[in-house]
Amino acid sequence: MISNLSIEQIDALLPRVELLVEQLSRADSDRIANQILVDGLSDLLDAHRVSLLVSHPAIEPPWTLEAVSACPRIDRNSEAALQISNLANRLLVVSKDESKTNLQSPKAFDDSAKAIVWHLPSSPQQTSIPEALLLEWIDPSQHNFAPARLKYVAGPIAQAWRMRSERMAPKKGQSKILANLTKRRWLFRSLAFCAFGLLASLPIDFYITADGYLEPKGRHSIYAPCDGYLDFISVRDGSELTQGQTIGKMQSPELDLRIEDVLGQIRSNSEKRNGFKVALNQIIVGSKTASVEQNRISSEILLADLHEENLKSKLAFLRKEESKLQLLSPIQGTVSANSFLEGLQSRPLRRGDPLFDVLDVNGPWHVVLRISDADSLLVKNAVSNGTKTVRASFESLPNRVFKIDLERCNDIIENPDNLTPFVRAYANFSQSDAELFFVNAKTKVLIPMGKRPAWYVWLRPIWETMQKYTLLWK
**Residue 157 vs residues 16, 101, 163, 196: alpha-carbon distances, Å:** 11, 19, 10, 53
Is 293 found in the same domain as 158?
A: no
d(CA 47, CA 213): 87
| Judgement on whether residues 255 and 167 belong to the same structural domain of the protein | no
Is 163 a domain residue? Answer: yes
In a domain, 192, yes or no: no
Same domain, yes or no: 397 and 317: no
Residue at a domain's end among 297, 322, 355: 355
47 shares its domain with 96: yes
- Specify whether 108 is located in the same domain as 228: no
Instruction: Specify whether 337 is located in the same domain as 439.
Output: no
Query: Same domain for 131 and 277?
Result: no
Question: Greatest CA span in the chain, whole angstroms?
Answer: 172
**Any idea what the CATH number is for the domain that residue 372 is in?**
2.40.30.170
Q: Do 232 and 153 share a domain, yes or no?
A: no
Single pTM value for the model: 0.50
Question: How far apart, in whole angstroms, are the C-alpha atoms of residue 291 and residue 7?
Answer: 161
Look at residue 294 and tell me if it is in a domain.
Answer: yes
Same domain, 252 and 154: no
Q: Let me know whether 239 and 319 are in one domain.
A: yes
Domain end, chosen from 328, 355, 382, is at 355
Domain identity same for 15 and 73: yes
d(CA 163, CA 122): 8
Cis upstream peptide for 72 (omega within 30°): no
Domain count, the chain: 3
182, part of any domain? no
Query: Is 460 part of a structural domain of the chain?
Result: no
Q: pLDDT tens track of the chain, all 474 residues?
A: 556 778 888 888 888 989 988 998 888 888 888 999 999 999 988 888 999 988 876 666 678 888 999 888 888 888 888 888 888 888 776 555 443 334 345 554 444 557 888 888 765 544 456 788 888 888 777 777 778 888 888 888 888 888 887 776 655 455 566 566 677 888 888 899 999 889 989 999 999 999 999 989 888 888 888 888 888 888 887 788 888 888 888 888 888 898 899 999 999 988 888 888 888 787 766 666 778 888 888 888 889 889 989 999 999 998 888 888 888 888 888 887 765 566 666 678 888 888 888 888 888 999 999 999 888 888 888 888 876 889 999 998 989 999 999 988 888 889 887 888 999 999 999 888 888 888 889 999 999 988 989 988 888 888 777 877 776 665
Q: Which domain holds residue 405?
A: 209-217+363-453
Residues 372, 344 share a domain: no
